[in-house]
Each structure stands twice: as structure tokens, then as C-alpha cells.
Structure 1
Amino acid sequence: MSLGKNPAHLCMVGGKSPRQQMWEVIRANREEFTVYRVARRSNQHDKTVEKYVACLRLGGYVEAIRGFKRGEEVVFQLVRDNGVEAPNLNADGKPSQQGYTTEAVWRTLRILGPSTPEQIAASVAASGATVSPSTVQRYFIDLQNAGYLTRNGRYYALKPGRYTGPRPPIVQRETRRQVYDPNLDQVMWSSHGEYQHNRSRSRKPEQEDEL
């Protein structure tokens, strides 16, 4: 298996989410791969890869081909390739709408300007997605910590120049809570207090189940 860059037809252009990084390694090594190898080559935590491979297995995207005995390393094969974009699955291996909801919140805030979480939730609901005002507010607090938003009472707004692209900032947690911007491929804030505008991620933990 090559350690070089994946061919262009296997890669998505722009900042990549942790799942996208893993998916591209899996596609490039479709005949056989292990959790350990995907973790090393996508620069992810082993547990993060393990969870995503479990989702893919339940969804029918990958299957185990070797390593069925106790103590053996399980070897997987990609059996269902849906293209460049990583499958967005929940823990049961079923399609998840979570990422689309986050994108709708991010897009709606940019369009509406200064808004309350209630206004954003109502606007997102009108587009067919479902999100509670309290979930929107938690997301906005994280974005405020990361330097994206200003707050005036109940109203939140994007700071001038802080719209970094169409892909919404992702709230992540592994050993700490942090905000990752897939448009810039950077961690913008982490809960230990270090503000990271100019540091690329070296390890990309998984996305949370909520906004």
C-alpha cells in the first residue's frame, strides 16, 4: 500500500473533515485495510477510525475478510464505494442528517445577519431540517469562543471577515472540546484555552453527534 498522496479522483478538494480523511485512505486501499493503517495514514486517533469503520460495516460499505480469531488484527475490504464524498452515517450505519442541519444553521446565520437561536431554529425548520434553539445556542457559544461570532443580548452575528467558506465549523471532542474549520483545515479553538488561528491540525478527532 502506497504512503503517497491519493489519486485526484479519490480525493475531495478543499478542507477535509476527519471522516473524509479516513474515507479517502479506505478508498485508496480498498482491497484490504486495517484500523491501525487507516489511523496512521489519515492522521486520526485509532478509536475515531474504529468507530467510523464500525458505522461503515453496519451500513454495508466494508466487510471483514481476515482476522476472525481472538487477538488477530481484523482486515477489512471496501465492498460498496459511493464516490469521493465520505458516507455520513450514524452509529447504526444509517444515513445521518446531522451534518446537513449544521450546514443549514451556518448558512442561515450568514443570510439573516444578527439573529437569536430561536429565529435560526425556526428558519432552519422551514427548510425541512429540525434543530432546537438550545442546540443552536450551544453551537453559537462554541463559535463565539472560536472567534466567529459577536453577541448582543440574545442576538448572535458573524464577525466581519469571519465567514471562511460554505462548510460549517465543526464542534469536536476527544480529550477536549474544540472547533475545527474544514474550510481552512485548522482547529480554531480548544477548551484548554489555546487559540489556534494559524495551526493546522495534527490529529483530527471525530465530530460530535450534536451541533
Structure 2
Amino acid sequence: MGRLPVDEVARLSVRVPRGRQGIWQTIRALAGGGGGAFTLPEVMARSAERSKETVRTYLRCLEAGGIVVREGLAVDGGAMRYRLVADPGPEAPRLRRDGSPAALCLGTEQMWRVLRMASPGLDARELSVTASTEEHPVALGAAAAYLRALHHAGYLAVVEAGRPGHKPGTGKRTVYRLTRCTGPLAPQIQRIRAVWDPNLSCHMGEGVVEGGHD
């Protein structure tokens, strides 16, 4: 693995998000793309994450997933040293404690990939079907919520407004088209009900508006 581009390392010192994305960006910068070792205190010092337990937990997930390995204690007998041995890219690996991929995050990535390719536009049911795989199906409700959140955050335009039907199953779902593609990383709906864009390292929109016929 080669070293990180200079502009990416510089961006880390300007604005690093908290949480796993910020931890991951810091690890990649400290490891130089995979060649160097790092410690938990070094990650804490460089990232915006202030919770030591959050960093420790994520390191355990990365270790279980085979992305980092332990090298033993530092020369001075201090903190444990880790080495990055697998770099899947700029987006933070979304792993469970056992190192397995988080299915919900995989679904979001699949939906974003479909939206980037669907130039004519699609509705929630079409997104659900197209983004689903045998291993990671995307529920209709999840697709509708993601479309609604992205539209509210300014990523999607309404091609055709939805309308309720007189009988169940006779209505029309809203058709959306992607109008703002910021990059390959999937914008995430966070717990605060806002959209986090890892491509821009900022929140988009003011939160999710519930309701609507999706």
C-alpha cells in the first residue's frame, strides 16, 4: 500500500470528524497508508474523538476484522502498538465487534451506489429491489427513509410526486433523481437524524422530515 496523498493528510489537520470515520482517517494518516505503526494515545492526540473507550472499541473491531494487528508494547513499555495491514479505502470500515461487516451500513452503501447509476430516477420500491443482494437485502422502509433523508438534505430532486391511492396498492410512490453526487462514499443517516457526508466531512441539511408518500 502506498502512502496517503499529501492533500488527504493535510485535510486531516483541518477538519477531522468524530466517531469511527475520524478515527479511521487518523489511523490511515499515522500508518502512512499501511507502512507505519501507531498507538491508541497517538490516535487520541490526532483525532477529534475524545472518548478513549470509543477508540479502543473500534481498534478491537478492526483487529477482529483483520485490518490491524498488534505488534506488542512500545519500546518504553507504554501503549500497545498496532499496524495497519489492510486498507480498504477512505471510508471507515463498518464492523461489528466480531469483525464482521455491519449489514445496515452495507445496505446504505448499496443504495448509494444504485442512486449514482440511476440517471432517470427511481422510487423507494425500485431502490429496495435494485440495491438488495441475497446476503444483504434492503427493506422497503429503509429505502424510503434513505430517499427521504437525502432529498431533505439536498441530494435528490423529485421527478414525480407520489400520491395516495383510493385502495391499498393503487397509489404512486415518489420518484427521485440524484442531483448532487459528492463522491463514492455513501452519505449516512446518523442518530441525530441528520445526513453525514464522508466525502465532504460535514452534515448536510437540517434533519429528516418525517412523512410524505414514498
* TM-score normalised according to structure 2 size: 0.63
Aligned length: 176
| Structure with bigger RCO (C-alpha 8 Å, 6+ apart) | 1
Deviation at 1:178, TM superposition (A): 2.5
Deviation track 1:80-105 (CA, whole Å, cap 9, x = no partner) reads: 51136354422221244554432321
**Alignment map for 1:131-146 (pairs within 5 Å):** 131-146=138-153
Structure 1 runs not aligned, ≥5 long: 1-7, 68-73, 194-211
- Of 174, 180, 192, 2:196 maps to 180
Deviation at 1:26, TM superposition (A): 4.9
Name the structure 2 match of 1:115. 122
Unmatched runs of 5 consecutive residues or more in structure 2: 163-172, 210-214
CA distance change for structure 1 residues 20 and 13 in 2, over 3 Å: closer, same or farther? farther
Q: Which residue of 2 aligns with 1:158?
A: 177
State the secondary structure of the residue aligned to 2:96.
coil
Structure 1 residue 108 displacement after superposition: 1.7
Which residue in the other structure is 1:43 paired with?
48
The one-letter code matched in structure 1 to 2:182 is T
Task: Name the Cα RMSD after superposition.
Answer: 3.7
| Rg comparison, structure with higher value | 2
From 48, 57, 60, the equivalent of 1:54 is: 60
Aligned twin of 1:201? none
**SS, match of residue 93 in structure 1:** coil
Task: Supply the distance in 2 between the matched residues of 1:106 and 1:139 (Cα, whole angstroms).
Answer: 9
CA contact (8 A) 1:27 1:81 kept: no
Equivalent position amino acid for 1:54 in 2: R
Q: Is the 8 A contact 1:62 1:76 kept in 2?
A: no
Q: What SS does the aligned partner of 2:122 have? A: coil
**Equivalent position to 1:104, from 110, 129, 133:** 110
Instruction: Determine what percentage of the aligned residue pairs are the same residue.
Output: 27
Q: Does the residue aligned with 1:177 lie in a helix, a strand or coil? A: coil
Q: Is the 8 A contact 1:56 1:93 kept in 2?
A: yes
Q: For residue 26 of structure 2, what is the amino acid of its counterpart?
A: M
Give the 3-state SS of the residue equivalent to 1:9 in structure 2: coil
**Equivalent of 2:131 in 109, 113, 124:** 124
Shift of 1:24: 0.9
